Amino acid sequence: MQQNQEEKKDLPVAEKPEHNKVKSGFRPWRGLFSLLDKINLKKPLTRLFIFHPPKCAYSFEMLKDQSSQSDPSFEFLLKNGDKPKLPSFVKLKAFKLYRKRDDRNYMTPLLWLLNQRSTSEYIVLYSHGNSSDLGTAYGSALTFSAVFNMNVVVYDYTGYGLSPYKPCEKKSL
């Protein structure tokens, strides 16, 4: 046992390569962000590069013979005009939810994935990421519904997809 400890002492210690060594105190980005923060430009510039909703990757078409209904249903189509492929046990319903806030009329497109194998009384509200909309998020929601046998509702944020107006964090709906 003492021999093993002596052998370990004799092994050379690996040194870090030179390119990984950083001079302490040399942080160019810290100074730039500090300056931008002082002149109140850090937030607007950050949003300029980060907060961009994608181009709409889907469309809604009103189902035939529903023009007289007060609450019509829609057909969800992908960017190329195709219907999404669904397993036989999942039904997809597309809706437009209308509401008024601050003297503006908002429309929120949403999808309801009805899993007919589901025995749960709960519905999952799926909120997609910043770089997607209903057209790109429905696949993840469909997988979630199929794997966990749950009903799922997916919606678009204001300014994403078919939803009007610009996205805004201050007055999130």
CA nearest to 163, candidates 49, 51, 47, 55 = 55
- Structural domain containing residue 76: 58-155
Residue 98 lies in a domain: yes
pTM over 0.75, yes/no: no
Report the candidate in 118, 117, 120, 98 with the shortest Cα–Cα distance to residue 109: 98
Encoding tokens for residue 13?
Answer: 């210690």
Question: What is the model's pLDDT at position 141?
Answer: 93
Residues 42 and 120 in one domain: no
Q: Is 11 domain-assigned?
A: no
CB atoms under 10 Å from CB of 90, counted, come to: 18
Please tell me the predicted confidence (pLDDT) of residue 92.
Answer: 93
* Mean pLDDT, residues 146-163 taken together: 90
Query: Do 43 and 71 lie in a common domain?
Result: no
pLDDT tens digits for 19-49?
555 555 556 667 776 777 778 777 766 666 6
Q: Is 87 part of any domain? A: yes
Asked if 42 and 127 sit in the same domain, the reply is no
Model confidence at 154: pLDDT above 60: yes
- Specify if 45 maps to a domain: yes
Which of 50, 70, 88 corresponds to the end of one domain? Answer: 50
- 112-117: average pLDDT: 94
Length of the chain: 173
Same domain flag for 135 and 151: yes
| Nearest in space to 92 (alpha carbons), one of 107, 66, 73, 64 | 73
